[in-house]
A and B are shown apart, each in its own frame.
Chain A
Amino acid sequence: MRTTLGLSWRLLRGGGRRGLLGSLLTLAAVAVSTGLLLFAVGANHAFAARSAADAWRHPAKAHGTPTAIEALTTDGVRGKPVTVVELAALSGDAPVPPGMKRFPKAGEVWTSPALRDLMRTLPADQLSQRFPTRTPTGTLGRAAVAHPGELVAVVGHAASDPSMTAARSDAMAVDNVASPTRIDRYGTGSQSSYAFVYQMLAAIASVLMVVPLLVFGGAAARLTVARRDQRLAALRLVGATPGQVVGITTAEAVLTAAAGAVLGTVLFAAALPALTQITIGGGTWYASDLWPGVWTPLVLLAVPVLVGLSAVVGLRRVVVSPLGVARRATPPALRAVRPLAFLAIVIAFGLVAGSLTSFGRAGLVILLVFLALAFIGINLVGPWIVALIGRVAAGTARGPARLLAGRRLMDDPRSAWRTVAGIALTGFVAGFLALLNPSAAMFHHGSANRLEILVPSASAEHVASAARDRLRGLPAKVTVEQREDAAGEGRVTTVRAAVDGAPADVDRARTALTGLVPGHTATTPADADQASTGLLGDLRTGALTVLGVSFLIAITSAGITGASAVLDRRQTYAMLRLAGTPLEVLDRARRQETLIPLAVMGGGSLLTGLFFGMPFAVDFGYSGALTLAGFLVVGFGGIIGAGALSRPLLRAVTTDPTPRPD
């Protein structure tokens, strides 16, 4: 074992400048993969952390003897939601809420840092007068707050306080309110339906990002092996045992990958401050939530292991026959089971797609499995189609560039596929997301100036006149209205205050109306739309993030595989140049080798993505078309750019006139 490690280390160090360049390419590939993998894991971690910070606010009925009463209302200030948790102790052992040192006493107000700052800056009649004390008793800790900008207040009451008995409901929302409930501990499950939606979207986004990453990481691993092929075949020829050959290469790949994984982690840590600024779900992120925590060492460990495994698989050929790689023979055709598997996946999805949305959580799992299967399917059918394209291109070629490109595609469709796999898989992502790109017109934006309080119809007129009293001096008109309730299950009576003024006047009115009807908060239609319009923006942000990450993977992967292809074939290129082949012909052949399969596979994947997105199609519209156009421009541009980057390398390897048997 020590001999193997020692030899790998020597080979790694003694590889010369080109060997070093190759190792650096692998290192860079693994670093990018690791960084993005940490991001994908971190995003899920962050959504789970947010969900946990939100869960305790939703009371669940006590199983044992209740020790406290908990209620939840959602207020608003300057168009942003303020979550108000009201607590009253029933006995001395009332449970201490997350993020607080002790159970709040009656009349105390604990706030999140953002709310504390806002209470300081806004005039008292716009915000802080809504609470029992104008200056907060304490600040809520991390565990009670979902994101840095979140506005949360925990208000302590006596158990006999009317607000701890009045049923909660407001005129608009049904999700973010909970009537006083006798509890013995805080809820742990997510009660907010939006938290679930976000976690679901994060899971989909992760699958969309992680699968191409794994493909890319595998390509990087095989890249090390490909470069070592020749030398390892030589080792095998001089009598190294298969075990030693596998050991040496795997150790080499794992060493490089371990360095790459560490570098990737450093890169991710460096990018973390920027990543926390991505606004989703109404706020930015805590760096500690986005950092994958215990998952970090697991990723750091898993990446080198996966790269090592991939290297072992790639080595099978060399190990089976010492001549397997040293002598290039006609490769066996790829089996037809590849396109059949792909078709089977697409057809199976077509069969279940229609009913997916009615399955709830199970439907999500099925969708995630199908997304992963779609990636695997595209990855299976990719090389097969590349070989087919190669056969057609070589068969119909008239000029040398097309002939070279076609023969090369036929000869090694897997490696040609690896160059374009990233963009092809991104095509799937773009196609899938294009349909999930709702246009703004789908969501109606309710008025932000019309405050409504739900009232029993008998006391409506009485409440309305009290409201007029409280709003005296403000540009508000108070009326009594009858309308459908938020759940659409009957008619309700509301007292409506139409405020004709600036947001500050609306906040003054809200503050003035606080406590008018115990348990009922004045809300605007805009408050109710907030979650859905927020979700719309977040879908866009999420889609752009996933697309950005996919493109980053795809273009890095194209650049790295392009450069390594030049290195692998440097001898051939040098010979061709020497015999008078113009550099342009070589370059054109190289470009066609990438662009022909890219055009076919990129388009095919895009269509597959559209097909898979169909059951969830919200709207195609303008932004969907923009997504697709963006994919075409960035995808092709990126690939051409990444290919152009290795042109100087091509020039460099072909200026060396003497062929060497390295």
Chain B
Amino acid sequence: MNVPTPSVLSGTGLVKAFGPAVALDGVDLDVGRAEAVAIMGPSGSGKSTLLHCLAGIMRPDRGEVRLLGDRIDDLGERRRSALRRTRFGFVFQFGQLLPELPADENVALPLMLGGTGRQEAVRAARAWFGPLGLAGLEGRRPGELSGGQAQRVAIARALVTRPAVVFADEPTGALDQATGHDTMRLLVEATRDNGASLVVVTHDPGVARWCDRTVEVRDGRLLVPSPGAA
């Protein structure tokens, strides 16, 4: 399982400071194709900042981020925005589904933003509902779904554009343990089945166990350098 694969996403020498507080202090991280990496660490260790820098949400102060060999950290906001829309998928703890849209349109939205026609986008979105155990919930609105169901809709939305990398920030944080583990299993399996890599930020060792590899962040540095053993 730990056979080194060609790197899809890599961060090198990443430094990011917020005023006097240094969140990242020279981090290197490579993510292989279809690899699932868990980033762990206590609150304030810099793990979310690392995810934001890798995902092109934030620009690092120093260092570089490459996707399939191309630098992405020096792109303008518009191009990074387009990149996030087309090459990345996101799953968060809460607030990611639009309350006004039914579940299927929530999933179809990234495709529509990419220019796919509505009917085709909704058809493509609905294809994800069966495999993720959501059959019959297409027309429900987020307020009418359970926490676990809402997270599975979010997973479908993250994968519908066939992204290269899925980023998840505490994806099970709002769920009970059993539901959380089910959701995590689905996230890892669905991502891998689609050939996408996965970067998960969590402080739950039970969640990290589902991933191929775990890296730990303390005070803006990686404790276990990448690549290494889980």
Contacts and interface: CB of A to CB of B under 8 A. Distances in A.
Interface stretch (A356-364, A460-468, A606-614, A654-662): A654-662
Contact of B85 (A408, A579, A657): A579
B100 A410 contact: yes
Nearest to A658: B48
A407 B52 contact: no
Contacts of A585: 113
Interface stretch (B5-13, B91-99, B219-227): B91-99
B90 interface: yes
Given A403-B118, A659-B92, A572 B98 contact: yes
Interface string B45-78: 0001000100001100000000000000000001
A308 to B, nearest CB: 28
B113 A407 contact: no
Nearest to A657: B57
A295 to B, nearest CB: 43
Contact of A398 (B57, B98, B110, B117): B117
A74 interface: no
Interface in B193-224: none
Contact of A407 (B84, B100, B112, B118): B100
B199 to A, nearest CB: 15
Contacts of B96: 575, 579, 659
Contacts of B118: 397-399, 403
B141 A578 contact: no
Contacts of B101: 403-404, 407
B144 interface: yes
Contacts of B82: 580, 582
A580 B83 contact: yes
Contact of A328 (B57, B85, B142): B142
A579 B167 CA distance: 10
B100 A404 contact: yes
Contacts of B117: 398
Given A400-B112, A661-B95, A329 B84 contact: no
B113 A580 contact: yes
Interface string B142-171: 111000000000000000000000000000
Given A572-B95, A580-B86, A581-B113, A657 B52 contact: yes
Contacts of B187: none
B105 interface: yes
Given A581-B85, A659-B92, A572 B48 contact: no
Contact of A400 (B48, B93, B94, B109): B109
B92 A329 contact: no
Interface string A574-593: 01111111100100000000
A411 interface: yes
B94 A404 contact: no
B2 interface: no
A398 B118 CA distance: 5
A327 interface: yes
A328 B99 contact: yes
A521 interface: no
A580 B84 contact: yes
Nearest to A581: B113
Contact of B84 (A327, A330, A412, A578): A578
A169 interface: no
B18 to A, nearest CB: 12
A329 B82 CA distance: 31
The prevalent SS among residues of B at the interface is helix
Contacts of B110: 579-580
B129 interface: no
A571 interface: yes
A661 B94 contact: yes
Contacts of B85: 579-581
Nearest to B56: A580
A403 B112 contact: yes
Contacts of A328: 99, 141-143
Given A328-B142, A580-B84, A580-B86, A659 B112 contact: no
Given A399-B112, A579-B84, A411 B99 contact: yes
Interface string A291-334: 00000000000000000000000000000000000011110000
Contact of B144 (A329, A399, A403, A657): A329
Nearest to A662: B95
Contacts of A577: 81
A408 B99 CA distance: 9
Interface in B109-131: 109-110, 112-113, 117-118
A327 B92 contact: no
Contacts of A407: 98, 100-101, 105
Contacts of B109: 400, 403
Interface in A550-599: 571-572, 575-582, 585
A137 to B, nearest CB: 77
Contact of B57 (A408, A412, A578, A661): A578
B141 A330 contact: yes
B192 to A, nearest CB: 21
B113 A657 contact: no
A576 B78 CA distance: 14
A327 B143 contact: yes
Contacts of B58: 657
Contact of B90 (A327, A398, A571, A579): A579
B83 to A, nearest CB: 7
26 contacts: A328-B99, A329-B144, A330-B143, A397-B118, A403-B112, A404-B101, A407-B100, A407-B105, A411-B99, A572-B95, A575-B95, A577-B81, A578-B90, A579-B84, A579-B90, A579-B96, A580-B81, A580-B82, A580-B86, A580-B88, A580-B110, A581-B85, A657-B52, A658-B48, A661-B94, A661-B95
Given A580-B86, A661-B94, 10 more contacts: A329-B141, A399-B112, A403-B105, A403-B118, A580-B81, A580-B83, A581-B113, A582-B78, A657-B52, A657-B57
Task: List the 10 shortest-distance A-B pairs measured between CB atoms, nearest first.
Answer: A580-B85, A580-B84, A328-B143, A411-B100, A328-B99, A407-B100, A400-B112, A329-B143, A327-B143, A657-B57
